[in-house]
Amino acid sequence: MTTNTQPNAAATEAAVRTGPGPLTAVRRQRGTRQGGTRQWGTTALALVFLAVMLFPVYWMINASLQPNGTTLQTSWLPLAPDFTGYATAISQQGRNLGTSLVVALGSVVFSLAIAAPAAYALAYFKVRGAGVVLFAILISQMIPGIVVANALYTAYNDLGLLNSIPGLILADSSHGIPFAILIVRAFMNNMPASVIEAAKVDGAGHLRAFWSIVLPLSRNALITAGLFTFLFTWSDFLFALTLTTTDDVRPVTLGIFQYMGAYVNDWSSVMATAVLASIPAIILLIAAQKYVAAGTTGGAVK
């Protein structure tokens, strides 16, 4: 239920479904063998495209390293890096970064605790309501965040959940739970049923089969779902904006938003905060590569 074109459950399903077929690997291997000048020329062109696409990211880092107050002319290169922006950012937004971290970690734990059993049920049991649940998950992606926020604000007000970390964890998990269910279910669908049947033959009940066989085998999918849930919650702005009204609990996204209003003349601090807020995305870009691509059952079934 992100308010944008961010990685999203339905999109992921589409991507999973349309993902590279078995031929791709073979094709790719054939391709890398024949490197030539022409191919490096294509690489150069790709680098140009990438430079244009990533320029704003470079500019964010560059601007964060400029001395405060030089708003008139930012130099194109941070030749004399100045860390005043970071000092200001940490002293003023450090607490908000901490809040975001706590909320995001809480949301990962909560989302996985809800999503993993559901994914297991949807992948293995012939539950007759399964289709309804999957349909509901897809539809839930289409509900505008502002509609949820509008109704949650009134409910949270009655329940005393405004300006609270549990309140934010619960609301922010609406980004992660549908996504996590879909991605873990897709993974479990590819896991041979014989693994669980073998566990059952050994006398394990559902709970034990789930806990000691299915969960460990789904490690990679759970890590992937967890990483993305972290990122969704960390990036959340709408619930931070609508479900908090005081300084007590303020995620960093809201901190940046309010910074922009009050400190527009001090862009190096805003950009330093933006860089700090981008760290999870950058880590995910490196880490998720491994987990998304990682094989499924490995050597579990011989």
Which residues, 36 to 65, sit near other proteins by CB under 8 A? 39-40, 42-43, 45-47, 49-50, 53-54, 56-57, 59-60, 63
Task: Tell me which residue of 193, 244, 234 sits closest to 214, measured CA to CA.
Answer: 193
Query: Could you give the C-alpha distances from 24 to 19, 163, 249, 289, in angstroms and in order?
Result: 10, 49, 47, 17
| Per-residue interface string for the shown chain with other proteins, residues 248-287, x marking contact by CB under 8 A | -----xx-xx-xx------x--xx--x--xx--xx-xx--
Contact status: 212 vs other proteins (CB under 8 A): no
Contact with other proteins (CB under 8 A) among 68, 84, 92, 140: 140
Nearest-angstrom CA–CA distance, 302 and 297 = 10
The structure tokens listed for 257 are 């938003």
Site for other proteins in 160-179 (CB under 8 A): 170-171, 173-174, 177-178
The only residue of 86, 120, 187, 291 in contact with other proteins, by rule CB under 8 A: 120
The residue to which tokens 């590569």 are assigned: 289
- Residue 263 or 302 with smaller CB distance to other proteins: 263
* Dihedral sign for Cα atoms in the order 128, 124, 105, 54: negative
How near is the Cβ of 245 to other proteins at its closest, in Å? Answer: 10
302 binds other proteins (CB under 8 A): no
Stretch that binds other proteins, among 77-85, 90-98, 195-203, 237-245 (CB under 8 A): 237-245
Regarding 91 and contact with other proteins (CB under 8 A), the answer is no
Size of the site for other proteins (CB under 8 A): 113
180 Cβ contact partners less than 8 Å away, ≥ 6 residues apart? 111, 112, 114, 115, 116, 119, 225, 226, 228, 229
Cα–Cα dist 81/63, whole Å: 10
Return the structure tokens found at 224: 């992937």
Q: Is residue 28 within the footprint of other proteins (CB under 8 A)?
A: yes
With CB under 8 A as the contact rule, the residue among 32, 262, 295, 302 that binds other proteins is 32
